[in-house]
Amino acid sequence: MPPLPNSDAPQPIRDVLDSIETQFQLTDERLRDITAHFVKMYQVGLQHGHEPMAMIPTFVTGVPDGTETGTFMAVDLGGTNFRVCEVQLEGNHKFSLKQKKFKVTDELKTGPAVDLFDYMAKCVGDFMKELGNPPAHECLHLGMTFSFPVEQTALGAGRLLTWTKGFSATGAIGNDVVQLLQDSLDKAEVQCKCVALVNDTVGTLLTRGYLTGGCFLGAIFGTGTNGAYVEDMSAVTKLKKIDPSIKNATKMIINTEWGAFDNARHVLPLTRWDNALDRISINPRYQAFEKLISGMYLGEIARNVLIYLIDLPPIPGSNPPRYYLFNGHSTKKFNVQYGFDTELLSRIKSDPSPAAVRGLFVEELGYVPYQVSDLDAQIVAWVCDLVATRSAALSACAVAATLIQCKYVQLGGEPGEREIDSSLELGVDGSLVEFYPGFEDTMRKSLRVIVGERAEKLLNVGMAKDGSGVGGNLYFDCFDWSY
């Protein structure tokens, strides 16, 4: 945990901050308990359908090695933007990418699903026109990265289980998202056939494998969070019917949907501020893990803590009245739900000096300079770091659970059944892991607690940029990579 602000703070303020710190603190024992429950939920999800940790079979039975070649189209829906890409795999672990981003408005996120998919089809058509439309007789194959929980039934088919990340478009849940897109493409007369469906974490894993020659886990730590890893087919006991094309495969990539870990709230360290966020979210009591660690929510958690400090009554006996933060003042901007973006946490971590924090609150949130004392600025930086530190530590639980499930190591650090003869590649993507200062270092610190120093040192964490685009195209050759 980050150190408390300076010791010159009055004792009542220090007492309140101590209380907040206790609620966010993760002891070594707590980290191991969370990880143990994580592994248990992995195994439950592999054995049974319709579990919160869905453990979705992807029907991808291998990882690329960097020799693949070809030119493909891909689309990616997963957050505030919709991407359309043309990817050229050049072999020798290299690729080139042409892409265009299109904004997804709140109206599209929450309106009828047909409007959302029609918009996506229009974006694909516009991008293809810019590239130069293919000959009339040619229909391009398209891979779709769809970063939401989907029950995948084949390489190019999957039923949406639920929306996350602020989406709630009506008429999509329970339907095949590939068919929804294809219907819109056909209606718009766009010459594309959607033939592959990929989750962004699977794309991250495949892309890191293409870049390095192998990868055991792909993880997203950004607006949302999720992981996909390589599992033994024998462990996926809920998969009763095996496609003949993969009947001889020994491995399959599993999309964990770990954002829904511990929706039942058995082990996660939920605070009053987490509960406040959850109650007024679009999906209360769902995506419990994601709401503690992903970029969509960290700023709001920090804002909830800071508003709590602002709203506390004055320190008893103080005259004139002394408040705990900002002299009891808030602003119109700061009062707005999600008005404190996680990107601001990164800026504060980069420069936590009182002058910088004061300047940020004045420029971005409408405060007047005299309302933000040096102590106020220190408290803000401390709260932001507290929230982000917990996020990175909990992220380590997910990574550690995967290492344990894959039998590379045991809880506590003893060697697992599967010998590690070289470094293990962990492909990552997302704004938190890429831009939040020290995120990986904090995650590694917790990994050492959970699985020991040896396993942590053998883990090579590398960005898999454009994984959702490149990985969507690597799906086309997936049946050629079987282990």
Catalytic residues: 83, 147, 200
Contact 462, 428 (CB under 8 A): yes
Q: CB-based burial of residue 122 (10 Å sphere; 0-12 exposed, 13-18 middle, 19+ buried)?
A: middle
Phi then psi for residue 100, to 5 deg, are -145, 140
Closest CA to 338 of 373, 295, 398: 295
Phi then psi for residue 375, to 5 deg, are -65, -40
Instruction: Classify 352 as helix, strand or coil.
Output: coil
Cα 159–73–93 angle (5° rounding)?
Answer: 105
Closest CA to 321 of 8, 41, 10, 3: 10
Whole-angstrom CA distances from 200 to 139, 207, 347, 467 are 24, 10, 26, 7
Buried b (16+ CB within 10 A) or exposed e, 282-320: ebeebbbbbbbbbbbbbbbbbbbbbbbbbeeeebeeeee
| H/E run at residue 219 | strand 217-221
DSSP 407-466: TSB-TTS-B-SS---SPEEEEEESHHHHHSTTHHHHHHHHHHHHHHHHHHHHEEEEE-TT
Whole-angstrom CA distances from 423 to 156, 229, 467 are 33, 16, 21
Token pair of 359 as six digits: 């300047």
Separation CA 291–CA 275 (nearest Å): 10
Separation CA 92–CA 401 (nearest Å): 32
